[in-house]
Amino acid sequence: MATHHSLNLLKGNVLRQALVDALVKLDPRHQARNPVMFVVYIGSVLTTILWAQALLGHGEAPTWFIFWVSLWLWFTVLFANFAEAMAEGRGKAQADTLRRARKDTTARKLSAPQRDAAQTPVPASLLRKADLILCEAGDIIPADGEVVAGVASVDESAITGESAPVIREAGGDRSSITGGTRVLSDYLVIRVGANPGEAFLDRMIAMVEGAKRQKTPNEIALNILLAGFTIVCLLATATLLPFSIYSAHSANTILVAAGHTASAAPVSITILVALLVCLIPTTIGALLSAIGIAGMDRMIQANVIATSGRAVEAAGDVDVLLLDKTGTITLGNRQAVAFHPADNVTEKDLADAAQLSSLVDETPEGRSVVILAKNKFSLRQREVDHLGAAFVPFTAQTRMSGIDLQDRHIRKGADAAIEQYVQSLGGHFPPEVRVTADNISRSGGTPLVVADGAMALGVIELKDIVKGSIRERFAQLRSMGIKTVMVTGDNPLTAAAIAAEAGVDDFLAQATPETKLKLIRDYQTGGRLVAMTGDGTNDAPALAQADVAVAMNSGTQAAKEAGNMVDLDSNPTKLIEVVETGKQLLMTRGALTTFSIANDVSKYFAILPVMFASIYPQLGRLNIMNLNPHTAILSAVIFNALIIIALIPIALKGVTYRPRPANKLLLHNILIYGLGGLVVPFIGIKAIDLILNFLHF
Amino acid sequence: MTPNAWLQIALLIGTVLLLVKPVGAYMAYVYENQPVPGVGRVLGPMERGIYRVCGISPQHQQDWKRYTVALLLFNLLGFMAVYLLQRWQGWLPFNPAQMPAVAPSSLAFNTAASFVTNTNWQNYAGESTMSYCTQMAALAVQNFLSATTGLTVLVALVRGLARKTTTELGSFWVDLTRSMLYILLPLSLVLAVVLVSQGVPQTLDKYITVHLVQPFHQAGSSATAPSTLITTQTIAVGPVASQEAIKELGTNGGGFFNANSAHPFENPTGLTNFLEEVAILLLPLAFCYTFGRMVNDTRQGWAVLAAMVILLLALMIPCVMAEQAGNPLLVRYCNQQPTPLQPGGNMVGKEARFGPVNSAIFAAVATGTSTGAVNSMFDSFTPLGGLCPIWLIQLSEVAPGGVGSGLYGMLMFVLITVFIAGLMIGRTPEYLGKKIEAFEMKMASIAILVPPSLVLVGTAVACVTAAGLAGIANPGAHGFSEMLYAMTSQANNNGSAFAGLNGDTTFYNVLGALLMLAARFWTIIPTMAIAGSLARKKIIPAGSGTLATNSPLFVFILIAIIVVVIALTFFPALALGPIAEQMQMMAGHR
């Protein structure tokens, strides 16, 4: 994306903006949205009031103590705001870049779908669905739509970041056009497909800005859990006031009876607030929305625009991936890899004929035959015009193509087609050619038989080239419990061979839009979540049915509408990345929740011995960290605030993720975030306590 | 820990674990509504007879709302019956001791709430308050029915997990009938007969008056009043064995006598003590296996069982250790070391026939399950020894908890654990193929939050009101422990008492009753809602990307979550009670 490079440069700006936003977010209306942080917010206000009271000489605890606790509680709130602002800031910078592409231009509205129809100038903001507009070289396309006439090269870099221009033309799978892109040559007549504000660019801006961000189902569930946990902590700390009133009274009675002065006092509200804030899951509460925003942001960094956070989350749950063979599993198209001559024909003769028949054939297969002939026998390309040859194009009826050269009639095509051709000329189709062709089919290749007139010369073997390292990728996915299914139009034999070579779990051969749709439904009925990519209009039903559907940006408007994500790079392999990003998002939430909850253990040991010191001095034995009683509570509060800052990078980047089986993943994360969450605060609180004492607090 | 202590614990847990599979498999037959092998031939016709008489259609299925409403109405009826039988017992038959109506009404209210909710908190002394009629028709019947209620809720929840895309959770009336007929009645009958053989009375005769071997003078009420010569003693008897059996099997715990299982007529020998412990643990643990069978993966059941047993042992062993170690302050004055002639340890408030080991084991067993039975007085335990039972209750009664209620409570924690652990592997959490979403989280949070909230709020109210403070017998940390225990016990439907707190006041009767009712039904309703919601979901097939909920790692996380989320919440409160006491004792003064 165009913003990739500028992001680092903007970092200073993002940081500055985030600091400002952190203060703006102190608005209670904003705070109330997050139950955990709202409790901290109320606590901060409460301790501030207590501090003011202490300044007036009615302090329930030493003024300096209330001041510092209150200050660090405010910091806790600000740190949470800052984390959220940081996450939003990155999106905002991108949105600004995108917004520059959305200039309010004047469109040329047409009365009919022809270039020479009557034109009226209309501001782009007034264009409505189904309006017809004309765009010529140099024009910024004012709205999303579909090309109804014309062919043009279009610069889509504003959206995709890809500088190479793309061809857009009426009909077919390249008819979709996005507002904000620029026509480089020729002209297009476009039927507007979206009203202002609903265009792809608008959605994209809203998405990256997080303006329309709604909480995802999983985030809601986690919020409920955190709120519940907060309520328990709230009750546990609030009831300590009556408990300590009773205990202090009772202890004083005993002291007085023994002739001592009554010295036990109930616990102060400042300490209770400090304990409460330390116990409630502030770490995850503070970072929760930042994690969500950053997850969306990571998608955008990968050039995938999701229509909702829900889709990103669902990506983590996917258990079946439908992958198109071509482009995802295999490299582009089939390539010629060998010549298999018939008996009495030399391989060189076959190669010569094959090359001749492919000279004008501009398909990738045709080109690969020419290249193979050149590599094997140094057969140079001949100029077709010099040979005085006539090219016979491929038609659906003949199912072969070739060249007529003086008296030679060279044809190449599927074995059945050539057999029919040879026999119609009174020739004999050699059995060894049939056997070779069958063998090639069986091993996953495609046979192309070459004939010169009535004589079959042999077979060209075309093969799909499976992408390097894709096999390992699928093995990883399998270990994560994700099943990969290859979808191809090939016959079952060929499909099976490629499937075996690529290491996919299953394949769908001779796929049609209907069989694809049925396959998705079958998996879904079995309780599985299916992800797929697609670009053509005929993919739309399947895309709409799939749980995670990534439409290629190069695809049709219908496909983009049906999917819940758009890949701007139009790279079908991206689906795997999408799944991983979804998983990473959930894992980050889980890891920080575990960390946050595990943190509690240490805080009891930091705060309890001190808070009841005047009632039961013997509880000092619980001070296992050997903290200074004057600074113990403050140390815990400071740690609680600083850990938020320390974890912002994890919240924004996501926890490191390597595909592996669930149990290993769980063990790994429990060790790091569970055990770590248990141990780190003991060390952290002790360290802060030492520093505070070093500073003679 | 003495070798005897290890032996006793190993014998108890070993015996129960051996029984888990056969009893659990038997219960699976009962709840999968299949013909029950063996006893089914005798009980089958009775079952069908009951359906005919009551107009129950055995094939009829209820959704979660109808099931819950049936359950609530049935319990309301039970509540009214227990209340009225107490209030009318003076006019009713089977009252040889001529007990008047239970008064005040707040006591009858508390007792009705207590027995309907499987709490069996007793603010009365059975032998001086209740007629045989009340004991049998009100209390023993509710012992059966409250245990059955727990079982029906659990079986509905398990069906919710096992079934897919349906609203049908079974029929409350069928589950009720089958639980009673096939599980609780036969087991109680067997146990009662064994108890009778050991000397537990089972009679409708009136209390026995005997002449004292050694008459004595009882001092008068004032210094000037003449003393009276006491020559006779009344020995309370009654239909004890029948009530004792279901008291343990149904994890009820309400004693026939005030002294509960410390009374020689309730728990006469070491053998009965052992059998009562086994009976208490049997159904809560065995149902884990039933659960595994019903969800077609017995390892799921064993995993939950492992978590329960580990938590139980984690507090049972320190309890035994503390009681066997005795009071360090007394070392100078008396020998607390075990010898062949005496068990040693802290013998205050304990029965000589049980000693510190079997008293502490019984305490852990009865508080780990929601059984309110006691065979020793917790008030006289060492502070640490007393901490263990109270903490076991505060775990929300899931280690292993009451009949039915323990496992459904534990499954709520399992859902929370699945949620957090599921997130950590990057998937929307699922349990047994069911997706755990916002609704389940909401309901599980309510079910888990209610008991601790009630404990904390109840204790706080008692702490700051004159009526609450009036009931405390001891000052300082021990007095706080007594209050905290009373609220903990009632708000978790346990029912055991720490003693030392005068609970029969209007304040404690009413507060306690409200806590018991809220704790019982505000966990049942969200649990049933989850059952309904889970039943409607699809079952996602497990794969290598699925969180394994039957692995040791999962058991570990489950335990960790229970400890950190619930147990540690009580840490500050416990610090003001037993922990402060223990520290004071260790510091050598009070």
Residues B117 and B369: beta-carbon distance below 8 Å = no
Residues B577 and B480: beta-carbon distance below 8 Å = yes
Residues A145 and A170: beta-carbon distance below 8 Å = no
Q: In this structure, what DSSP letter does residue B567 have?
A: G
List the alpha helices (DSSP H) in B163-239.
172-178, 185-197
Q: What percent of chain B has pLDDT over 90?
A: 79
* Amino acid sitting at position A94: Q
Among A481, A594, A615, select the one facing B544 at the smallest CB separation.
A481
Average pLDDT over residues B6-31: 96
DSSP B271-294: HHHHHHHHHHHHHHHHHHHHHHHH
Q: How confident is the model at residue A1 (pLDDT cuts 50, 70, 90)?
A: very low
Q: Tokens in use for A261?
A: 């002065």
pLDDT of residue B172: 96
pLDDT of residue A45: 96
Residues A267 and A249: beta-carbon distance below 8 Å = no
CB contact under 8 A, B424 and A598: no
Q: Tokens in use for A187?
A: 């002209």
Exposed/middle/buried for residue A656 (C-beta within 10 Å: 0-12, 13-18, 19+): exposed
Residues A302 and A1: beta-carbon distance below 8 Å = no
Residues 6+ apart with CB under 8 A from A570: A535, A552, A553, A554, A555
DSSP B125-141: -HHHH--HHIIIIIIIH
* Amino acid sitting at position B67: Y
pLDDT in tens, A286-316: 999 889 888 888 888 888 888 777 888 888 8
A132-136 and A119-123 strand pairing? unpaired
pLDDT of residue A557: 76
Q: Kindly provide the residue ranges of all beta strands, DSSP E only, lying in B388-502, ordered along the sequence.
A: 430-431, 434-435
pLDDT of residue B446: 95
Distance from CA of A507 to the nearest CA of B (A): 19
Q: In this structure, what DSSP letter does residue B182 have?
A: I
pLDDT in tens, B279-328: 999 999 999 999 999 999 999 999 999 999 999 999 999 999 999 998 88
Q: In this structure, what DSSP letter does residue A546 have?
A: S
Which three-class secondary structure state does DSSP give residue A157?
A: helix
Cis peptide leading into residue A28 (ω within 30°): no
The phi, psi pair for A609, rounded to 5°, reads -60, -30
pLDDT of residue B113: 96
Which three-class secondary structure state does DSSP give residue B221?
A: coil
Q: Tokens in use for B335?
A: 């020998």
Distance from CA of A247 to the nearest CA of B (A): 6
Chain A residue whose CA is closest to B440: A221
CB atoms within 10 A of CB B222: 6
Mutate to test the interface with B, among A250, A254, A524, A614 (most CBs of B within 10 A): A250
pLDDT of residue A332: 64
For residue A240, give the nearest of B221, B80, B571, B141 by alpha carbon: B571
DSSP B148-180: HHHHHHHHHHHHHHHS-S------HHHHHHHII
Q: In this structure, what DSSP letter does residue B239 have?
A: B
Q: How confident is the model at residue B143 (pLDDT cuts 50, 70, 90)?
A: very high
Q: How confident is the model at residue B589 (pLDDT cuts 50, 70, 90)?
A: low
The single residue listed with the structure tokens 């419990």 is A481
Q: Given its phi and psi angles, is residue A604 left (phi above 0), alpha (psi -120 to 50 degrees) or beta?
A: alpha
A228 lies within 8 A of chain B by CB: yes
List the alpha helices (DSSP H) in B58-99.
64-88
* H or E stretch at B210: strand B208-218
Which three-class secondary structure state does DSSP give residue A485?
A: strand
pLDDT of residue B395: 93
Exposed/middle/buried for residue B335 (C-beta within 10 Å: 0-12, 13-18, 19+): exposed
> Across-strand partners of A400?
A413
pLDDT in tens, B540-577: 888 777 889 999 999 999 999 999 988 889 999 999 99
Residue A2 has pLDDT above 50, yes or no: no
Cα separation values, A192 from A168, A200, B126, B299, Å: 15, 12, 85, 60
Mutate to test the interface with B, among A579, A581, A607, A618 (most CBs of B within 10 A): A618
pLDDT of residue A385: 64
Chain B residue whose CA is closest to A612: B576
The phi, psi pair for B350, rounded to 5°, reads -120, 155
Q: Active-site residue A324, yes or no?
A: yes
Q: Which residues of A touch B576 (CB under 8 A)?
A: 240, 243-244, 247, 612, 615-616
Residue A538 has pLDDT above 80, yes or no: no
**Of A10-24, A427-441, B25-39, which gets the smallest average pLDDT?**
A10-24
- The model carries a pTM of 0.87
CB contact under 8 A, A233 and B569: yes
B459-484 in b/e burial notation, b at 16+ Cβ within 10 A? bbbbbeeeebbebbeeebbbbbbbbb
Q: How confident is the model at residue A161 (pLDDT cuts 50, 70, 90)?
A: low
Among B456, B561, B575, select the one facing A608 at the smallest CB separation.
B575
Distance from CA of A65 to the nearest CA of B (A): 21
CB contact under 8 A, B544 and A243: no
CB atoms within 10 A of CB B84: 14
Q: Of the spans A37-51, A105-119, A448-462, B319-333, which averages the highest pLDDT?
A: A37-51
Distance from CA of A533 to the nearest CA of B (A): 21
pLDDT of residue A102: 66
Question: What's the rounded Cα separation, in Å, for the pair A262 and A253?
Answer: 7
Q: Which residues of A touch B584 (CB under 8 A)?
A: 616, 618
pLDDT of residue B590: 44
* H or E stretch at B250: none
Residue A9 has pLDDT above 60, yes or no: no
* H or E stretch at A486: strand A483-487
Q: What is the mean pLDDT of chain B?
A: 93
Among B456, B539, B584, select the one facing A239 at the smallest CB separation.
B456
CB atoms within 10 A of CB A4: 11
pLDDT in tens, A619-676: 988 999 999 998 999 999 999 999 999 999 999 999 988 888 888 999 999 999 999 9
Q: How confident is the model at residue A8 (pLDDT cuts 50, 70, 90)?
A: very low
> Across-strand partners of A451?
A411, A456
pLDDT of residue B305: 97
Q: Tokens in use for B131?
A: 């007629």
pLDDT of residue A306: 81
Chain A residue whose CA is closest to B568: A601
Mutate to test the interface with A, among B394, B396, B427 (most CBs of A within 10 A): B427
Q: Of the spans A252-256, B106-110, B331-335, which averages the highest pLDDT?
A: B106-110
Q: How confident is the model at residue A164 (pLDDT cuts 50, 70, 90)?
A: confident
Question: What's the rounded Cα separation, in Å, for the pair A618 and B581?
Answer: 9
CA quadruple A430, A433, A435, A441: dihedral sign: negative
For residue A662, give the nearest of B437, B307, B428 by alpha carbon: B428
pLDDT in tens, B382-395: 999 999 999 999 99
Average pLDDT over residues B89-112: 93
CB contact under 8 A, A618 and B580: yes
**Of A546-555, B205-214, B451-460, B521-530, which gets the smallest average pLDDT?**
A546-555
pLDDT of residue B529: 97
**Of A11-15, A176-180, A452-456, which gets the smallest average pLDDT?**
A11-15
* Amino acid sitting at position A126: L
pLDDT of residue A208: 66
Question: What's the rounded Cα separation, in Å, for the pair A367 and A332?
Answer: 13
Among B425, B456, B566, select the one facing A666 at the smallest CB separation.
B425
Question: What's the rounded Cα separation, in Å, for the pair B547 and B530?
Answer: 20
Which three-class secondary structure state does DSSP give residue A176?
A: strand
CB pairs under 8 A between A and B: 229
Residues 6+ apart with CB under 8 A from B197: none
Q: Which residues of B touch A672 (CB under 8 A)?
A: none
Q: In this structure, what DSSP letter does residue B202 have?
A: B
Mutate to test the interface with A, among B424, B436, B522 (most CBs of A within 10 A): B424
Residues 6+ apart with CB under 8 A from B471: B462, B483, B501, B502, B503, B505, B507, B508
Q: What percent of chain A has pLDDT over 90?
A: 29
* H or E stretch at B399: none
Average pLDDT over residues B501-518: 92
ipTM reported for the complex, 2 dp: 0.92
pLDDT of residue A163: 67
A671 lies within 8 A of chain B by CB: no
Residue A6 has pLDDT above 50, yes or no: no
Question: What's the rounded Cα separation, in Å, for the pair A97 and A3?
Answer: 7
Q: What is the mean pLDDT of chain A?
A: 85
Average pLDDT over residues A253-269: 89
Cis peptide leading into residue B104 (ω within 30°): yes
Question: What's the rounded Cα separation, in Å, for the pair B468 and B460?
Answer: 9
CB contact under 8 A, B586 and A669: no
Distance from CA of B487 to the nearest CA of A (A): 13
The phi, psi pair for A406, rounded to 5°, reads 50, -110
pLDDT in tens, A565-620: 888 887 777 888 888 888 899 999 999 999 999 999 999 999 999 999 889 988 98
Q: Tokens in use for A550?
A: 């990534």
Chain B residue whose CA is closest to A215: B438
pLDDT of residue A162: 67
Catalytic one of A155, A324, A464, A490: A324
Question: What's the rounded Cα separation, in Å, for the pair B540 and B158?
Answer: 17
Residues B266 and B260: beta-carbon distance below 8 Å = yes
Chain A residue whose CA is closest to B449: A232
pLDDT of residue A135: 87
The single residue listed with the structure tokens 């490629």 is A498
Q: Which residues of B touch A587 (CB under 8 A)?
A: 423-426
Which three-class secondary structure state does DSSP give residue A135?
A: strand
Question: What's the rounded Cα separation, in Å, for the pair B352 and B248?
Answer: 22
Average pLDDT over residues B159-183: 95
For residue A87, give the nearest of A255, A339, A289 by alpha carbon: A289
